[in-house]
Structure formats: structure tokens, C-alpha cells
Structure 1
Amino acid sequence: MNIAVCVKQIPDPAAPGRLDPNTFNLVREGKLVMDDSDSYGVEMALQLVDRAGGGEVTLISMAPNGETSGLRTALAMGAAKAVLVSDPALGGSDALSTAKVLAAAILRNPFDMVITATESTDGYTGTVPVQIAEILGLPAVSFAKKVTLDGNKAMIERQSESGYDEVACELPAVVSVTAGVVEPRYPSFKGIMAAKSKPIETLSLSDLGLSADQVGAAGAREAIVSLRKAEARQAGQIIEDDGEAFAKIIEYLEQLKVV
């Protein structure tokens, strides 16, 4: 069982984010960290490979400046190797461009399944997983809360508003997992040391057979045309509990047309 896991490397969420004043893109300089949402996909892949009795987990990422810090964290968890696509022409890529790049990188190694997070915490489009599946011509199952294998099939509990759906699909397939699907392991000291020597294949657009006009700002089908600060939050209304506070609350909610 060989599984490709898409891992996004993002600016440290603990530090204030910055937008480029000219392009309005998120500034991605310096050390990047693995998106927390992707740690669930990495852990799920590692567990599935263990249960299958063999195989390996390959990380797939797209990041500027050859940045590998986030990938090293995932390698320390137990992934075998990584593929990083890093090219200045990728700046300003929209969701579809990102999917094209990741799909091309995924095809560099044999795989039985592709696992992604449901969405990244710095983009929140939630569209990249299904776009990857469409490009690769594979079935896509989203919002997976449990994944098991049955021969050449994946048995998936797909989270829904009313509970969950039981879905079965032939492999290979693209599966996006929700946060909390498993408990991600902490990299051990042994794992951290081993990660330093694990291979990371760094590729450019030309290595993938893609051109600059297909991706990045040049190939984007959407663009941020303006940016303004959010309006300051107004002070709330304080209602003193004088024994009739419930009536005032109901009246206030009626004004908001929520009751």
C-alpha cells in the first residue's frame, strides 16, 4: 500500500500574517510549518500502511524558496520520502493551478491512494482535493471521518450534517480527511534524527512538464483586485437582568429577525 499525502507548508500561525501590498498574496517568507490540518492525513496514511503490512507514505508539497521545514516534521512522523515543487513562477497560484501542480507531482511515484486535508488553514477554499481527483481521473471522497481497507476497496465513513454516510470506492482514489479523524503522533527524537536523511525530491515546473502560463498568477482564473481593513466591531447591547430580561432579549432577537 503506497499512499501519497498532500502536505501544505504555511507561515507559522502563531506569528501575525502579512499580505503583499502589491499582489495581496500572503507573504510566505522564512521558515514554514506543516499545516495542522495535514497532520491528520499523514497519520491516517501511516496507520493504513501499517495495517496493510507494507508500503510507504510519500509527501507531496508545493512551497516557495525550496522550504522543507514542514516536510521534515511529517517525515519525522514516519513518512518515507517527499516531493517538493518549488518555482518562483508558482507565486499567485489559485486553487486549480495548485491542483494541477500537485497532481503532476503525485504521478512521479506509484500510489494506491491520495490523502489530503479537507481544506488548508490559510486558504479555506476546500476545492483542491476534488480538483486533484478530477485531473487524475480518480474517484473522490470528501470529509472522511474513518477510513479502512478491504482488498482493493476503501471503506469510508463520510461526515455529513445528519451523521455520516458509508461509502465504498475502488482504489486508487483521492480521500480528504477531517480534523480529528485520528490522533496525530508526536515525532520522536529518533524520528526527528531519521528525517534529516530522508530524501526530498525538489522539482521545478519544467520537471513536471508544466509552463508558467498554466499556473501561478499568469494562469490564475481568479484574482484579488482590492483589499480593505475589516470594520471595527461595534459594542454589543447590555441587558440588565431585572426579572424581565427575557422579554428584552426576545425583542432584540426579533429586531434581528432571527426569531
Structure 2
Amino acid sequence: MRIDIISLFPEMFAGPLGHSMLKRAQDSGLISVQVTNPRNFTYDKHHIVDDSPFGGGNGMVMKPEPIFRAVKNVVNANISLRKRIVLMCPGGSAFDQAKARELAGYEQLIFICGHYEGIDARIREHVIDEAISIGDYVVTGGELPAMVVIDAVARMIPGVLGAAEGAKLDSFYNGLLEYPQYTRPREFNGWVVPDVLLSGDHAKIERWRRKESLRATLERRPDLLDNMEITPLDNQLLQEIKLEQAGG
């Protein structure tokens, strides 16, 4: 996948995208990341990218021309790729694991990072395919949200995590929160690893993991259970959990 980022602050991406999983994915050619500064697509000598809003108000608004030219340049350089143009902004649709899987199906993603009081509305109306928000709060610009989305999407690309099924074990992938994980030592500060995980009985381990995923979801995010298909085994496990919670 090719990932393009339109940002006034390209240097912000060097650290987060230059380490760990994302660096390995780039080194292996699974993804490529390019950051384009819209200042390079201004025609005035001061490279002005913002102006005061029509109608008055506080702050400055990013001008449409530099963003439009930057996106057009990126699109024309890779015209044959199946792409999605995404604006990161608080007013976008809520980002979730299903959206990460969907975006991972494209050959190219182009992220536009707003700043100041936002971007001229004509970019949203005529240039982007969709707007995405990572939560009901406001941060200084679209750069940090874009990094979050890029990381989540990259995990969905085959080979990025190494293990073929790695992403399928993540929280939310199958609608549930992830089950608890343990490693050595077997006992620490008097806290012990559940015996079932040391039993070698894979069927019992899988049942335990499913039950603990259901338990975590029921306790922390019960709303997720409303949107998933509950199997007969899930129903049985949920009943066991509720009896345990009731002291039965």
C-alpha cells in the first residue's frame, strides 16, 4: 500500500512512522509513506496557506488552493492505484476496527491533515472521499489522528505483523475485546497464571480465551455485544459469566 499524507508539519511523522512495526513494514516494501507539504504548492513568495474566515471569527482557515494542488499532484503521480482520500477532522465519522479493515483494502490512502481552525469547506465538499474522526475531542491538528489511523490500517495488511493471523487476535477485530495475555514467570508477587493456559489442552484454552473475551467485553464495553452475532457457545459462556458475577 502507498500512504500519502498532506501536512504542514511533515517532520511530525518521522518519529512515529520510523520505528517498530511501521518501519519494518516500510523496509520490507509492504507499505510506502510519503508526506507532502502544501506550502510547496503555494504561488506567493511567503508561501501563505491560511487566511481569516469569511464572515469573521477567531483563528485562521487553511486555504483551498494549496491543498487542492497538493492532492492533485499526489493523485496524478499514481493515477492507476485504487485510492481513498481521507480528511482527518473532529466532524468526521467515528473510526473503528471495521473502518481500518475497509481502508486496508485500498492500494493508496491519501490523508489530509487540517490545522488552525480547519480547512476551507470546499475541500470537504469536492475533493475528499470521506472525513474521519478518532474521537469526540479536538486536538491541535490532523497529524496525530492520521498516525493513529495509519497504524491501525497497517496492522490489517497481510505480512505487516509477521504472524498470518496476528491482527485477528486484536481487540475489536471480531467484535470483542481481547482476552488477557500472560507470560513468564508463572508466579509473580503471588499472582499466578491461570492453570488452563499451562494445561496443554488447546480446546480448553480456546474456550477459556473466548470466555474471557466475552467477560472483558461484558464488563467494559457491553454495547459491543449488541452489534455481534452471538453463537450458542457464546450464550453458554455468557450465562456462566453472569452466574459467576452473581456469586453462583
| TM-score with structure 2 setting the length | 0.30
More strand by share: 1
Greater gyration radius: 2
